[in-house]
């Protein structure tokens, strides 16, 4: 028996998903990006041509290709072209500086680097710093010129048939670098098994279908937009509308123009839509499904969404890069009764709460959230020690603190690193934020701890008032005292026009901690 032929006939890797959709729905609209409109047959042909072009430039199964770009249809093509070859895609955060990118290029030992033309200078500097003059260099042309090879020819010329490469279920296809808040970023290895199992969970528990028309505005370098939504749409045969970023005016206009039925955004972006002057004058009647994640949705904002978009069913997706990334889901019928909850484990996930000795804790007790699932990462690239630590006792350890109630619903208390330890007591920053969102006039708020000579850490809040509203620190603190125990109330309140956020919409608390670390010594 020729096992290779058996394996080839049974192959179900990431690259196969696009081909099978193109065979089922060749003429259906796959991707909309400005004036570019690709059918699934056209998308498949572009991915195959790109795969052959990469192979012609020396890339083979197991090699790494880094991608530095804002959202574009070419980004989606590269994600599937690399998968068809068994080449590992390394998406790079476009907000990183040259030195940070150089670390990723060195650590991932990339063989090719594709960058958007506007980011080509940063990419070139990163290669110089990494000491990598031997890397294949491609440029996504979005209007500016550049010295690197234009990948347009890779996608439009050459063989349109799929390359004949055997890619097994657990061959790594991605290295997703974490944000690196505490040290150097870790490279999370994901395989087709991780991704496809996660797609199935998204489809079943997220109510997704081939009839969806979805707007993708959050960065595709982040696994939430890329793998909970864009790649799932490709798998199903749904239509993807790609925007370069989550500008609220452009996002609202795209929903109306393309009659979009589905939208994912983190809470910060949902808030920006609700506050935009065009929200009530835009025809959003086509929208039927809304998703949030990346961080907790303030309960008051959730209620406002339900009030102003009554025909939109909402899902909360909770997870992390290492879970490809979905772990638990709060479904539409649970949104108000279980407001603030992360829901229950998705279809292919088992979740429990454990103590510091990895023993399960009783319902109602706080501990670390751990998972068992085929979604889970293969491990951290070139880091056996961190892999062993993350998978101790045979469970993946999330680093999040949570509690499960008697019915199995998970509430995320905080990241371990975001728990504030003040005066010998633990304070969950999210609990304080939820209380402050109840105060009229608060548009956004972030709560964190800063060093304090007496309290060790002092609860600190940065508040963004709504337009036209004047707030003062005394009013905020008095409001907090009416809703929280005294030790949980902010000792410092700072007002700002906006909160720092990364491209995924998460509030960057480490930046706030650094900016306000001297408050205790100043007062």
- The predicted-structure confidence for 207-256, as pLDDT tens digits, reads as follows 999 999 999 999 999 999 999 999 999 999 999 999 999 999 999 999 99
What is the spatial distance between Cα 177 and Cα 218, in angstroms, rounded to a whole number? 17
Q: Which of 266-270, 438-442, 483-487 has the highest mean pLDDT?
A: 438-442
In the chain, the percentage of residues whose pLDDT exceeds 70 is 97
CATH: 3.40.50.720, 1.10.1740.10, 3.40.50.12780, 3.30.420.40. Which one for 3-18+37-191? 3.40.50.12780
Q: Is residue 183's pLDDT more than 60? A: no
* Apex 336 CA angle, 333 and 342, nearest 5: 80
Report, as an integer, the average pLDDT of 434-444: 92
Answer whether 3-18+37-191 and 423-522 agree in fold.
Answer: no
Q: Is residue 260's pLDDT more than 80? A: yes
Find out whether 199 and 42 touch, Cβ atoms under 8 Å. no
What is the spatial distance between Cα 507 and Cα 509, in angstroms, rounded to a whole number? 6
What is the spatial distance between Cα 369 and Cα 396, in angstroms, rounded to a whole number? 9
Q: Which of 57-61, 337-341, 446-450 has the highest mean pLDDT?
A: 57-61
pLDDT interval class at 427 (50, 70, 90):
confident
**CATH architecture group of domain 423-522:** 2-Layer Sandwich (3.30)
Report, as an integer, the average pLDDT of 420-433: 79
What is the spatial distance between Cα 160 and Cα 42, in angstroms, rounded to a whole number? 9
Find out whether 91 and 365 touch, Cβ atoms under 8 Å. no
Domain boundaries of the chain, sorted by first residue = 3-18+37-191, 423-522
pLDDT interval class at 453 (50, 70, 90):
confident
């Amino acid at each position: 028996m020729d096992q290779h032929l058996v394996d080839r006939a049974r192959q179900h890797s990431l690259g196969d998903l696009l081909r099978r959709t193109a065979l089922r729905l060749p003429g259906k609209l796959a991707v909309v990006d400005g004036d570019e409109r690709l059918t699934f047959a056209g998308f498949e042909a572009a991915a195959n041509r790109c795969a052959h072009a990469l192979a012609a430039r020396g890339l083979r199964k197991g090699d790494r290709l880094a991608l530095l770009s804002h959202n574009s249809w070419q980004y989606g093509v590269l994600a599937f072209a690399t998968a068809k070859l068994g080449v590992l895609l390394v998406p790079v955060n476009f907000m990183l500086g040259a030195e940070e990118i150089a670390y990723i290029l060195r650590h991932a030992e990339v063989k090719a680097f594709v960058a958007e033309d506007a980011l080509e200078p940063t990419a070139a500097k990163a290669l110089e710093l990494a000491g990598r003059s031997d890397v294949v260099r491609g440029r996504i042309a979005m209007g500016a010129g550049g010295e690197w090879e234009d990948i347009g020819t890779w996608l439009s010329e050459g063989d349109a048939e799929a390359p004949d490469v055997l890619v097994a279920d657990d061959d790594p296809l991605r290295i997703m670098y974490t944000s690196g808040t505490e040290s150097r970023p870790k490279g999370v290895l994901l395989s087709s098994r991780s991704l496809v199992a996660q797609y199935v969970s998204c489809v079943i528990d997220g109510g997704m279908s081939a009839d969806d028309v979805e707007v993708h505005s959050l960065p595709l370098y982040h696994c939430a937009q890329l793998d909970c939504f864009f790649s799932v749409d490709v798998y199903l045969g749904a239509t993807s509308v790609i925007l370069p970023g989550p500008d609220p005016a452009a996002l609202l206009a795209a929903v109306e123009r393309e009659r979009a039925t589905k939208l994912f955004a983190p809470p910060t972006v949902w808030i920006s839509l609700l506050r935009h002057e065009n929200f009530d004058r835009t025809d959003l009647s086509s929208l039927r499904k809304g998703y949030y994640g990346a961080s907790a949705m303030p309960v008051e904002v959730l209620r406002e969404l339900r009030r102003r978009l009554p025909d939109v069913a909402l899902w909360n997706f909770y997870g992390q890069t290492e879970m490809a990334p979905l772990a638990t889901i709060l479904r539409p019928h649970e949104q108000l009764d279980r407001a603030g909850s992360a829901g229950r484990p998705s279809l292919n996930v088992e979740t429990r709460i454990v103590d510091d000795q990895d023993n399960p804790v009783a319902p109602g007790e706080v501990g670390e959230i751990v998972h068992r699932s085929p979604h889970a990462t293969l491990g951290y690239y070139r880091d056996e020690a961190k892999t062993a630590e993350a998978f101790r006792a045979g469970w993946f350890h999330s680093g999040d603190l949570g509690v499960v109630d008697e019915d199995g619903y998970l509430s995320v208390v905080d990241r371990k690193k975001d728990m504030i330890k003040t005066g010998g007591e633990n304070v969950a920053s999210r609990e304080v934020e939820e209380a402050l969102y109840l105060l009229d006039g608060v548009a956004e708020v972030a709560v964190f701890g800063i060093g304090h000579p007496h309290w060790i850490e002092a609860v600190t809040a940065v508040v963004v008032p709504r337009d036209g509203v004047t707030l003062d620190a005394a009013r905020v603190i008095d409001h907090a005292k009416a809703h929280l125990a005294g030790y949980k109330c902010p000792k410092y309140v700072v007002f700002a026009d906006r909160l720092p956020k990364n491209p995924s919409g998460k509030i960057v608390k480490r930046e706030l901690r650094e900016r306000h670390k001297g408050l205790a010594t100043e007062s």
